[in-house]
Amino acid sequence: MLLLTKGIILLLLGIILFNLFSGLFSMLRQDNDKPMSHYLGRRVLYSAVVLVLLLLLMATGILPHNPRPY
């Protein structure tokens, strides 16, 4: 279960990077069909999904916390 959730999080982080670079290429191209804000908005949405997913996994105990150093 832990490996599956880490895989989903890595997949979402890959999608976030893809949308970030898609926004960059959309900004650099002259004949773009979608504005840069479309890709950056999707990136923010996926980042919020990752944050909520991490909080839920830590609250349910599926994803363990790091131990305190002291």
User: How far is 63 from 48, CA to CA, in rounded Å?
Assistant: 18
What is the per-residue DSSP string for 2-37?
HHHHHHHHHHHHHHHHHHHHHHHHHHH-SS-SS-HH
pLDDT at 43: 94
Mean pLDDT (the chain, rounded): 90
Q: Which two tokens stand for residue 64?
A: 């363990």
Q: Which two tokens stand for residue 58?
A: 């830590």
pLDDT at 65: 84
Which amino acid appears at position 52 of this protein? Answer: V
* Residue 21 predicted with pLDDT over 90: yes
pLDDT, one tens digit per residue, over 44-56 is: 999 999 999 999 9
As a whole-number percent, the residues of the chain with pLDDT over 70 amount to 100
Q: Which two tokens stand for residue 6?
A: 């880490």
Question: pTM score, two decimals?
Answer: 0.82
